[in-house]
């Protein structure tokens, strides 16, 4: 690629001009700013200690060397310490014709290497998926597609948290107040039904705490001594002892949750290669803890609880097994990590989990290290920020969350209303309109979430996300539909993009060249998104591409162009942009409709 050639020849220039060898990684190479003449910019300031010349003189030295050694360079200019390289139009036309019809443009060849195990979703079976889970699922699925586009073998896994005190709270509430209700009898989706009992438990629990506080207990002591929490803890102990009645209820309610999750996943368009269950991993975690205790890596306190002392490593003591022998989340994560390593021997294990769990994953790596696990250093945490709504934070226990299913319903209705108001569905059949509204609604939701850097907290506004103007999914989808419409008209007129009838020496208009340059940047965006584990890189790239193409479309005629060579260039650019938009949106898990 031209970027690699520029870096290599700049190193050669420094060697021949100034007698010192440098590595390509020490050179700053950027895309030239739009307001400056040039395609690539080399930053020469770091080279001044070698050249012992002014920035301008150094840039001119290197520019003359590069122009003489790289035939694609037509000219260069120098602005202070910035060397701006201009390539011949022929370079961009060759790039255009060679790549415009490639369905795999920007996608790297698969590597022969150990897989990456990527965990995302990780729901609890005591409640339905909500808006926070949506960000998790969308980030995880998109990252898996981006890593695959970088040539990695990715195994997508889900760890379902199907045991523990929170699940027992829902079970206890159902035992007390369920009256045999089922998803079928109530007409309520299984995960939503269980979530109602989780909220009911919390409401009754708070009532008991208040009563105990009124009797003179502190709030902290009341929370520990309230009858409901003591009963829930007893349910957990019975579950771990495989009490038949408790275990059967657990299986029944979890199956309701699994069926509900599957429906939500299919609608959201995410999937997994394998699903793990905490109930199947925590026992291995307990074995690892006991092995660590026997080896002296862990310690047992007087009450029988087992801990990892991480104070020498900048953390604190971490509970791994309670005094009554029941496990904690860390226990099952130890077991799950071991299972995945044994099964896949992965090069990396990536966990997509919110930033409130940063400490948890620091501890996980440290504990695995203390246990002598070689894969401890191959664990990565894609930490993402909280999603809030205009009305504020959500709380599952209080029932103030926005369920994923309800949000997708709202997105569909908003998409339908907006699309019909704009007259963009007038000629569609009922089934076609349904598919379009669903594609637009989900596209708006996914794009609005993925365009934000994962590390940042974000405010999600459903109405703002569905706008056919601005940095939104529907704007990009509409640009793609516009392109497909133009190409269909071109085909009807007998024109086909990617033709070879562009005469040598044909010059490019500034907007033509600028659009081709944007296309050239796609491969770099895919690599950057993968290395940074950041789908927002792709989202912002494809928005810039769509925005730039709309300017191109408005200012330069395509089918009305009289010059056959110009018509072919613009038609080929249009085809290339459409293909790249589709590929980029696919990496985000977003569909693009051919008609809007």
Helix (H, G, I), strand (E, B) or coil at 138: helix
Residue 41 CA to residue 76 CA, distance in Å, equals 9
What distances in angstroms separate CA 392 from CA 169, 198, 205, 401, one per listed residue? 26, 21, 24, 10
pLDDT at 391: 59
Q: Which two tokens stand for residue 145?
A: 């597609």
User: Averaged over 452-457, what is the pLDDT?
Assistant: 95
Q: What is the pTM of this model?
A: 0.90
Q: Where does 103-226 have alpha helices with state H?
A: 131-149, 165-177, 183-186, 190-214, 219-225
Q: Which two tokens stand for residue 201?
A: 């438990």
Of the candidates 530, 495, 522, the residue with the CA atom closest to the CA atom of residue 582: 522
The residues, ordered by sequence, that sit 6+ positions from 434 with a Cβ below 8 Å of its Cβ are: none
Paired sense of beta strands 73-79 and 82-87, if any: antiparallel
pLDDT at 401: 67
3-state class percentages of the chain: helix first, strand second, coil last, to nearest 5 = 60, 10, 30
Residue 470 CA to residue 343 CA, distance in Å, equals 46
Paired sense of beta strands 299-300 and 82-87, if any: unpaired
Paired sense of beta strands 154-160 and 116-119, if any: parallel
Sequence-distant contacts of 422-425: CB under 8 A, at least 24 apart: 422/468, 424/468, 424/478, 424/596
DSSP 356: G
Q: Which two tokens stand for residue 235?
A: 């349910």
pLDDT digits (tens, 9 = 90+) for 281-340: 988 999 999 999 999 999 999 999 999 999 998 899 999 998 888 788 899 899 999 999
In DSSP terms, which residues pair with 403 in a beta bridge? 130
Dihedral angle sign, alpha carbons of residues 252, 254, 260, 265: negative
Q: What is the dihedral of CA 284, 287, 288, 293, to 10 degrees?
A: 160
pLDDT digits (tens, 9 = 90+) for 242-283: 999 999 999 999 999 999 999 999 999 999 999 999 998 988
Q: What is the dihedral of CA 475, 478, 480, 484, to 10 degrees?
A: -170
Of the candidates 55, 70, 91, 74, the residue with the CA atom closest to the CA atom of residue 10: 70
Q: Is the pLDDT of residue 45 over 80?
A: yes
What percentage of the chain exceeds 70 in pLDDT? Answer: 98
pLDDT at 504: 75
Element (H, E) at 233: helix 227-240
Dihedral angle sign, alpha carbons of residues 481, 482, 487, 488: positive
Element (H, E) at 477: helix 473-492
pLDDT at 398: 45
Residue 297 CA to residue 498 CA, distance in Å, equals 65
Higher pLDDT among residues 580 and 462, named by residue = 580
What distances in angstroms separate CA 43 from CA 20, 22, 49, 57, one per listed residue? 17, 14, 13, 13
**Tokens 């990565």, located at residue:** 380
- pLDDT tier for residue 69 given thresholds of 50, 70 and 90: very high
pLDDT digits (tens, 9 = 90+) for 77-121: 999 889 999 999 999 999 999 999 899 999 999 999 999 999 999
Of the candidates 163, 112, 569, 145, the residue with the CA atom closest to the CA atom of residue 347: 112
Dihedral angle sign, alpha carbons of residues 327, 329, 331, 337: positive
Element (H, E) at 568: helix 564-587
The residues, ordered by sequence, that sit 6+ positions from 216 with a Cβ below 8 Å of its Cβ are: none
Q: Which two tokens stand for residue 419?
A: 């699309």
pLDDT at 397: 43
Element (H, E) at 75: strand 73-79
The residues, ordered by sequence, that sit 6+ positions from 392 with a Cβ below 8 Å of its Cβ are: none
Q: Which two tokens stand for residue 222?
A: 């009341």
User: Averaged over 127-147, what is the pLDDT?
Assistant: 95
- pLDDT tier for residue 500 given thresholds of 50, 70 and 90: low
Residue 43 CA to residue 27 CA, distance in Å, equals 7
pLDDT digits (tens, 9 = 90+) for 152-164: 999 999 999 998 8
Domains contained in the chain, CATH given = 2-87 (3.30.1360.70), 120-388 (3.40.50.620), 405-587 (1.10.730.10)
What end-to-end distance do the CA atoms of the chain give, in Å?
37
Residue-level length of the chain? 596
Q: Is the pLDDT of residue 435 over 60?
A: yes
Check if the beta carbon of residue 318 is closer than 8 Å to that of residue 361: no
What distances in angstroms separate CA 161 from CA 122, 130, 165, 465, 591, one per listed residue? 7, 15, 11, 31, 30
DSSP string, 310-321: -GGGTS-EEEEE
Residue 419 CA to residue 359 CA, distance in Å, equals 45
């Amino acid at each position: 690629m031209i970027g690699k050639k520029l870096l290599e020849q700049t190193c050669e220039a420094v060697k021949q001009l100034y007698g010192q060898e440098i590595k390509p990684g020490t050179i700053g190479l950027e895309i030239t700013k739009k307001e400056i003449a040039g395609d690539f910019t080399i930053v020469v300031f770091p080279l001044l200690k070698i050249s012992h010349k002014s920035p301008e003189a150094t840039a001119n030295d290197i520019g003359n060397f590069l122009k003489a050694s790289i035939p694609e360079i037509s000219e260069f200019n120098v602005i202070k310490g910035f060397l701006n390289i201009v390539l011949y139009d022929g370079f961009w036309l060759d790039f255009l014709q060679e790549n415009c019809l490639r369905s795999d443009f920007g996608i790297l060849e698969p590597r022969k290497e150990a897989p990456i195990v990527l965990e995302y979703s990780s729901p609890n079976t005591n409640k339905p998926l909500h808006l926070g889970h949506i960000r998790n699922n969308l980030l995880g699925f998109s990252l898996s597609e981006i890593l695959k586009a970088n040539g990695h073998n990715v195994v997508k896994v889900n760890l379902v948290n199907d045991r523990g005190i929170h699940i027992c709270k829902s079970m206890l509430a159902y035992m007390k107040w369920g009256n045999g209700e089922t998803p079928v009898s109530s007409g309520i989706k299984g995960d939503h039904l269980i979530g109602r009992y989780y909220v009911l438990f919390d409401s009754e629990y708070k009532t008991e705490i208040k009563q105990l506080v009124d009797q003179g207990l502190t709030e902290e002591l009341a929370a520990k001594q309230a009858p409901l929490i003591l009963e829930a803890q007893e349910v957990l102990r019975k579950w771990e002892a495989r009490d038949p009645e408790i275990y059967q209820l657990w299986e029944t309610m979890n199956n309701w949750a699994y069926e509900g999750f599957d429906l939500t996943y299919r609608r959201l368009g995410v999937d997994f290669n394998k699903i793990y269950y905490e109930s199947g991993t925590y026992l291995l975690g307990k074995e690892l803890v006991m092995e660590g205790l026997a080896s002296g890596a862990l310690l047992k306190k007087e009450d029988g609880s087992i801990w990892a002392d991480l104070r020498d490593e900048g953390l604190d003591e971490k509970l791994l097994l309670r005094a009554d022998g029941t496990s904690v989340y860390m226990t099952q994560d130890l077991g799950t990590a071991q299972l995945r390593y044994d099964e896949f021997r992965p090069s990396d294990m990536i966990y997509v989990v919110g930033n409130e769990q940063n400490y948890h994953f620091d501890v996980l790596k440290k504990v695995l290290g203390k246990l002598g696990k070689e894969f401890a250093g191959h664990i990565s945490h894609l930490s993402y920020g909280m999603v809030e709504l205009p009305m504020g934070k959500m709380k599952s226990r209080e029932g103030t969350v926005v369920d994923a299913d309800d949000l997708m319903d709202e997105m569909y209705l908003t998409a339908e209303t907006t699309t019909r108001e704009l007259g963009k569905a007038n000629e569609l059949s009922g089934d076609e309109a349904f598919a379009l509204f669903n594609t637009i609604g989900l596209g708006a939701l996914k794009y609005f979430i993925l365009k934000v850097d994962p590390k940042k907290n974000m405010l999600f506004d459903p109405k703002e996300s569905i706008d056919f103007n601005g940095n939104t999914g529907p704007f990009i989808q509409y640009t793609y539909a516009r392109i497909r419409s133009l190409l269909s008209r071109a085909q009807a007129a007998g024109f086909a993009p990617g033709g070879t009838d562009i005469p040598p020496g044909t010059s490019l208009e500034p907007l033509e060249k600028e659009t081709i340059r944007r296309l050239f940047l796609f491969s770099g965006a895919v690599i950057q998104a993968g290395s940074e584990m950041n789908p927002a890189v792709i989202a912002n790239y494809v928005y810039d591409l769509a925005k730039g193409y709309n300017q191109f479309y408005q200012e330069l005629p395509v089918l009305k162009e009289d010059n056959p060579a110009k018509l072919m260039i613009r038609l080929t650019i249009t085809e290339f942009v459409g293909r790249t938009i589709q590929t980029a949106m696919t990496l985000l898990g977003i569909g693009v409709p051919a008609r809007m």
